[in-house]
Copies of this chain bind each other. A is one copy, B any other.
């Protein structure tokens, strides 16, 4: 037993053992930890024994550790993510998407319809948002819908229309991927969106980590900020550093909004990670009258950009377009944001 356990090198995880742990189980735990190349130090109190670990504990699942029969509590002293951490890279990352920069204070706005429905509506919206200050065009082709009876998106054909709009109007585009096998279809898409429901589709994340194509990673409504950063770590670990995070609301007991948009996630992420973070107030609230105030709040709290649904005729949209702003409302928002960012 070491009397100076934490002193010399820096403990990275502390484990509080249960009283009177089974010695065989305890030895087995120690042996397993050593097999992970961790130094294990003990510290015996009057009624409690602590273990201090030195080394790389990133492969240890903290929930697993807490569930061990001999373990009472466990505390990770270093965050479980490494390449996403501000300690790994203290300066903010700037992600460039075909000339549009996220993370350098320029605060771009991504706008467009929730789902692509036909060419003329898409072109109308694209021209309209461009002339009103949007920097990128969004449009969903593969739509993950709660119900099998809801419109599932135009799929390949929708992507083709979006790519056509990109060329005609001259804005980089973003669209959502829902399956590994679709990756080839996204070659001309400038920013690939991983939607909230796929934030922990790790097979997809691993595939997206293999190229340098920028990824927009949306937070799942059930994910902690740490889990979001761990999903980003999958992409970073595979070699792709072009990641933009997106807050879009978490599930809570409140029913007057579809989700509770967690604005505090912005400064929290900035205190832990170098990655840029944008906000989607359309899905985050589910109410079109809340989009503008929440977009303002996001920018005032330090967001690196916004993602806004805009529709030329929201009441005829096939998808959740109806919660979208109409072009006039988007123009108003764009002006307000532009004014706000000059005075923060």
Contacts and interface: CB of A to CB of B under 8 A. Distances in A.
B320 A61 contact: yes
Nearest to A268: B256
B149 A58 contact: yes
A59 interface: yes
30 contacts: A3-B7, A9-B46, A32-B316, A47-B87, A48-B77, A59-B147, A61-B319, A61-B320, A64-B319, A66-B286, A67-B258, A67-B287, A67-B288, A68-B315, A68-B322, A80-B147, A148-B202, A180-B180, A197-B200, A221-B222, A222-B253, A225-B256, A256-B272, A260-B262, A260-B264, A264-B284, A294-B301, A296-B301, A336-B344, A340-B340
Interface residues of A, number: 127
A288 B180 CA distance: 36
A257 B266 CA distance: 12
A120 interface: no
Copy count, this protein chain:
4
A1 B44 CA distance: 19
Interface in A9-44: 9-12, 14, 16, 25, 28-29, 31-32, 43-44
B258 A260 contact: no
A240 to B, nearest CB: 12
Given A43-B6, A67-B258, A300 B145 contact: no
B256 A253 contact: no
B45 A10 contact: yes
Interface string A291-309: 0011011111110000000
Contacts of A193: none
Interface stretch (A99-107, A121-129, A130-138, A227-235): A227-235
Contact of A145 (B12, B202, B220, B263): B202
B255 A250 contact: no
A287 B74 CA distance: 13
Interface in A248-282: 250-258, 260-268, 271-272
Given A61-B320, A253-B224, A258-B63, A315 B146 contact: no
Contacts of A320: 61, 63-64, 67
Given A46-B9, A322-B68, A150 B61 contact: yes
Interface string A59-93: 11101111111100101011011100001000000
Contacts of A206: 148
A235 to B, nearest CB: 9
A226 B255 CA distance: 9
A146 B253 contact: no
Given A29-B315, A32-B316, A80-B147, 17 more contacts: A5-B7, A6-B43, A10-B48, A11-B45, A11-B48, A50-B77, A59-B151, A60-B150, A67-B322, A81-B147, A148-B238, A221-B222, A226-B255, A254-B262, A264-B293, A293-B302, A339-B343
